[in-house]
Amino acid sequence: MVKFLKILPIATKTGTVTIKYPYQEPLVTESFRGAIEVDPAKCVGCGACTRICPPKALTLTLEGNTMILKYFVGRCIFCGMCADTCPEKAISVTKEFELATGNVFDLYTDIEHEVKTCSICGKSFISKKLGDKVASKVSDIPSETMDLCPDCRRKEALKRFIGALE
């Protein structure tokens, strides 16, 4: 009948469980995933992260002569798929979660890359770093082909093929 009084000794033994954040440390474990940080030195501008990002927080855009990798924390769901997918391991997941700000532009981080332009049509199609990386990994591509955008490459290959037929 009076079993419900037993909550009193339990309450006294437990004390107060509230944490007085922000005057005390927040409750964050070692596996916690917060905002990401992209290392500009390692990033080559391949865009693999932008293709896997579920809410499209990472976007790769071409503005004039620069390729910009934009990271918008406002859309980020802190899943860490970009860090798993990046072939250069340029993205690291930090434990930052105190991201609130009064100015939305604080939430954008940009990484800029120089672009390569096609030697025939002048269109920019890839970042210089990615071009150099591919060239270093696949050594037997002739350097003239490396300087062409995909459309011109196809046209040149077709010309060579037709030329070989004649």
Partner 1 sequence: MVSSESAMNDINNNETFMTPSTSLVRDIVLKIRSFKDRVFGVEQKDGIVRIKIHRDVLPNIVQMLATLKGIYLRTMMASDERDLEGVYRLYYVFGVDKEHTNIVLEASLPQEDPSISTIVDINRAVDWYELEAHDMLGIEFLNRELYRLVLPEDWPEKIYPLRKEYNISDLIKFYRPKAIEYAKEIGAENIVTIPIGPYHPALHEPEFFELYIRGEKVVDARYVGFMVHRGIEKLGEGMKYDQVPFLAERICGICGFVHSSSYCQAVENALNIDVPERALFIRSIILEIERIHSHLLWVGVALHLLGYDTGFMHSWRIREKVMILAELLTGSRKTYGINIVGGVRRDIDSDKISKALDVLKYVEKEFKQLVDISISVPQVNARLRGTGILPLGEAIALSLVGPTARGSGLDRDVRRDYPYAAYRYISFKVPTYSEGDNLARTLVRVDEVFESINMLYQLLDKVPPGSISVESWEPEPYKLGIGSVEAPRGEVIHVILTGSYSPYRWRVRAPTYQNLPAIPIMLRNADLADAPLTIASIDPCFSCTDRAIVVNIDRGSIKTIPIEILSLKGLKAIR
Partner 2 sequence: MASLEILLILVVSMILYIFLPPLLDGIERKIKAKIQTRYGPPTIFQTWYDILKLSSKELKIPPTFQFSVFLLVLAFSISIVTIYLLSYIIISLDIYSIALIIVLILSIHSLIAFISTLSSNPFSIIGIFRGLTIDIINEMGFIASIPLYYLSIKTLNLSIKSLLLLILSTIFVFIVSYVASKRLPYDLHEAEPELASGSIIEFSGPILALYLYIHLIDRYTITVLPVAIGLSSIGLSTPLYITMILVHIIAIGIYLLFGVIAPLLGRSRIDIAVKTLMFIYPIIITVWLVVKAL
- Closest by CA position to 99, among listed 57, 68, 61, 67: 57
Return the number of other C-beta atoms located less than 10 Å from residue 120's C-beta.
15
**If binding is defined by CB under 8 A, does position 11 make contact with partner 2?**
yes
Distance CA 93, CA 11 (A): 39
Beta bridge partners of 110: 70
| CA distances, 68 to each of 11, 13, 28, 60, 124 (Å) | 56, 57, 32, 6, 13
Which residue, 18 or 31, has its beta carbon nearer to partner 2? 18
CA distance 91 to 67: 17
Contact residue for partner 1 among 26, 39, 40, 51 (CB under 8 A): 51
Minimum Å gap between C-beta 25 and partner 2 is: 17
What is the closest distance, in whole angstroms, from the C-beta atom of residue 79 to partner 1 in the complex? Answer: 4
- Does position 24 bind partner 2 by CB under 8 A? no
77 is a contact residue toward partner 2 (CB under 8 A): no
For residue 7, state whether it binds partner 1 (rule: CB under 8 A).
yes
Tokens for 49, please give them: 């992260």
Among 48, 52, 62, 68, binds partner 1 (CB under 8 A): 52
Contact criterion met (CB below 8 Å) for 38 and 71:
yes
The listed partner (partner 1, partner 2, none) that binds 32, CB under 5 to 8 Å by sort, is partner 1
Q: By CB under 8 A, tell whether 14 contacts partner 1.
A: yes
Nearest distance in Å: CB 93, partner 1: 8
With beta carbons less than 8 A apart as the criterion, state whether 48 and 85 touch.
yes
Binding residues (CB under 8 A) for partner 1: these are 1, 3-4, 6-7, 10-11, 14, 17, 27-33, 51-55, 77-81, 84
Binding residues (CB under 8 A) for partner 2: these are 4-5, 7-8, 11, 14-18, 20
